[in-house]
Amino acid sequence: MATTAPVHGSAAGRYNRNRRGRLAVWWQEIDRGTLILVLVLMAIGAVAVASGSPASARRLSTANDKLPALHFFYLHVRWQVLGLGAMFWASSLSKDSARRFGILLAAAMLAALVLVPIAGYEVNGAKRWLRFGFSLQPSEFLKCGYPILLAWILSWRARDPQIPVVAMCFGLIAFLGALLMMQPDFGSTMLFSGTFLVLILLSGIDVKRLAAFFAVGLAGLVVMYFTYDNGRNRIDNFLFGGTAFDQVDLAQRTLLNGGWTGLGFWMGTRKMALPEAHTDYIFSVIGEEFGLIACMVIVVLYLAILFRIFLRLVNEEDLFTVLAASGFAAQFGGQAFINILVNLQLFPSKGMTLPLISYGGSSTIAMGLCIGLLLAITRRNPFIQREKFSLRAIGDTQ
């Protein structure tokens, strides 16, 4: 009687099954709500850049080189594809791998920031970029690792209460602030300082140390006012009013020109006089062509993402996860609402893009990487019950 040899699946078949299994686990463990909201904002961003592209293309065209109306839209879609790739890759990492990657990336970008004053090149009066055959803005990619690095250092306190983690973080933000102001980049300095403040507050810093932080910050602001002409002019224009041709004033006029429902796609007129219509002031372009209702929807989407992140942390038991995810949320929300407030003429101009919506090369890829690392850090097995995390168990931070 003949016997039939067992048939084993091919190597390709086993690989496909394993890949489908890993994909299923990834889908179960990530925060799908945050992912969906991010994808919605990126879709809105593509439409918004298509809306603002003609204004910037005309502004940057020359007699010999006329840019097509959708020049920046085509570029933006390519950057979005790369940003999505970075996001999905990073979100597939385990929490430990995401932590190691974030720490190494932060260290590398800090080293790159040291090189910027020496080997960087200048654009619009600021030296913020390095060239390696392509342009790299280290401060944008530092955002991907900075919350992870701070959270990692602050989480040492849970293992050894004697480690002066806050003093170490103070030294780090002072070093980073000095590097950024050498460019100068006051907006990023404020954003990183705000993220640092959120994390040390969560870590249980005492009131005296907190007062010292505010005193140092106020002193830095005074020094910046008297030594950084561009920053002083922006603050003066915000406090005392500027001319009708100031960027922030033009942005507010553009934003309100569309009323509640907007003038319609490509029907805006004031946007054509607006500088950086596809980047810093894209929120105003949205207001003119799609209306204030569309602007409110965008604000709600940003708030929903922040709510989802903090909701994810309610039952989290790991200090590092709480701090790192909160840092990403503070950084993301801070950048978004600073940009929106600038467009509403409620905050001095900072040259800061609207995350997931504005056109950008480094910024789009870096934001995708940030979201991916956030999703990786907050990955959770839905079938495991967790105890609620309590900051009181940590005690006062040194």
* Residues 335-373: tens digit of each pLDDT: 999 999 888 888 777 778 899 999 988 889 999 999 999
Q: pLDDT at position 206, please? A: 66
Helices (H), the chain: 11-29, 32-60, 71-91, 95-119, 138-154, 165-181, 186-202, 207-227, 229-240, 247-257, 282-312, 319-343, 362-377
C-alpha distance across the termini of the chain, in Å: 79
Q: What is the pTM assigned to this prediction?
A: 0.85
Average pLDDT over residues 102-108: 95
Q: Which residue has the higher pLDDT, 56 or 62?
A: 56
Query: Is the model's pLDDT at 194 over the cut of 50?
Result: yes
Give residue 280's domain range: 31-381
Position 23 in a domain: no
Angstrom distances, CA of residue 43 to CA of 50, 120, 356: 11, 33, 9
**Is 387 within a domain?**
no
pLDDT, average across residues 9-28:
72
Give Dmax over CA atoms of the chain in angstroms. Answer: 99
Beta-strand pair 121-123/126-131: antiparallel
Domain membership of residue 213 (yes or no) is: yes
What pLDDT is stored for residue 80 in this prediction? 95
Work out how many domains the chain is built from and give that number: 1
Q: pLDDT category, 239, cuts 50, 70, 90?
A: low
Whether the pLDDT of residue 295 is over 60: the answer is: yes
Cβ(317)–Cβ(295) below 8 Å: no
Residue 231 has pLDDT above 80, yes or no: no
Question: From CA 117, how far away is CA 112, in angstroms rounded?
Answer: 10
* Bond into 382 cis (ω within 30): no
- What is the structure's pLDDT at 275? 82
What is the reported pLDDT for 272?
86
Does the structure show a pLDDT above 50 at 143? yes
Q: Evaluate if residue 205 carries a pLDDT over 70.
A: no
Mean pLDDT to the nearest integer, 126-148: 85
Residue 338 lies in a domain: yes
Judged against a pLDDT cut of 70, whether residue 5 lies above it is answered with: no
Residue 240 in this model has a pLDDT that exceeds 60: no
Per-residue model confidence as pLDDT tens digits over 247-265: 777 888 888 888 899 898 9
pLDDT given at position 394: 47
| pLDDT tens digits, 59-92 | 888 778 888 989 999 999 999 999 999 999 999 9
Considering only residues 5 and 72, tell me which one the structure prediction assigns the higher pLDDT: 72
Is residue 13 assigned to a domain?
no
What would the DSSP string read from start to end of 148-197?
HHHHHHHGGGGT-TTS-HHHHHHHHHHHHHHHHHTTT-HHHHHHHHHHHH
The band of 242, judged by pLDDT with boundaries at 50, 70 and 90, is low
How confident is the prediction for the chain on average, in pLDDT?
83
Whether 14 is in a domain gets the answer no
Say if 61 falls within a structural domain: yes
Burial class (CB in 10 A: 0-12, 13-18, 19+), 297: middle
Percent of the chain with pLDDT over 70: 81
Joined tokens for residue 309:
């992140």
Taking 50 as the threshold, does the pLDDT of residue 395 lie above it? Answer: no
The answer to whether the beta carbons of residues 362 and 76 sit under 8 Å apart is no
Q: Does a structural domain hold residue 18?
A: no
DSSP string, 199-251: HHHHTT--HHHHHHHHHHHHHHHHHHHHH-HHHHHHHHHHHH---TTSHHHHH
Report which of residues 334 and 122 the model is more confident about.
Answer: 334
Q: Return the SS3 of 131.
A: strand
- Give ∠ CA 322-324-327 in degrees, rounded to 5: 105
- Residue 209 has what pLDDT? 66
Question: What pLDDT is stored for residue 158 in this prediction?
Answer: 72
Per the CB < 8 A criterion, the answer to whether 120 and 130 are in contact is yes
